[in-house]
Amino acid sequence: MENSTGKFVIHVRKSVAIVIQLLLGLFFLILGVLGGILSPDPDFLLFGIMLSLIGVILAYRSIFVCCWKCTVEGDNIRYQSLFRRKIVRFSDIKKVTPKYAVGGSPRHGIGGSFVGVDLYSEAGKLFHIHGTKVGFRAFVARLEEQNIPGAEKLPKGIRWH
């Protein structure tokens, strides 16, 4: 278990699936643009626009996932995503709530399987940390160590990373 002064990083596992998703997105984008430009058929233009949109969504999602990181050092939590940067302290966190996927298997939790935690301050939701992130287990241990309300309600016995 991490002590309260240790530093650790919660991040997305850099996987081959993210690279494949990025390449697939770029392929659909190029195919859609070239097909829309080179085809004289107006119906294929609409198809090219749809392919391009799918390509942009896949590429954006893979870039967004790669750029997500949360660094915990002492009492500070530095959260960074593609468009947001935020620094909060554990003392700013007023509660933690578990988040469940809708419609998952009932044996994994109420209403679905456990997916992560939402962190709240007095002003509202700070951010969400997904349970599949590397370092999530150390983060939950730090939440319990800091006696953040709601950390004791997180499911036990899940294989966190």
Taking a C-beta distance cutoff of 8 angstroms, is the pair 153, 98 a contact?
yes
- The tens digit of pLDDT for each residue in 49-69 reads 888 999 999 888 888 777 778
Least confident of 20-29, 64-73, 89-98: 64-73
Sign for the CA dihedral angle at 58, 135, 72, 112 comes to positive
Select 7-12+71-153's CATH number: 3.40.30, 2.30.29, 3.40.50, 2.40.128. 2.30.29
Q: What pLDDT does residue 100 have?
A: 78
Domain ranges of the chain: 7-12+71-153, 16-66
pLDDT above 50 for 2? no
Please tell me the distance from the alpha carbon of residue 51 to that of residue 107, in angstroms, as a whole number. Answer: 38
Which tokens hold the place of 109? 């939790």
Q: What pLDDT band is residue 5 in, cutting at 50, 70 and 90?
A: low
β-pairing verdict for 85-89 and 7-11? unpaired
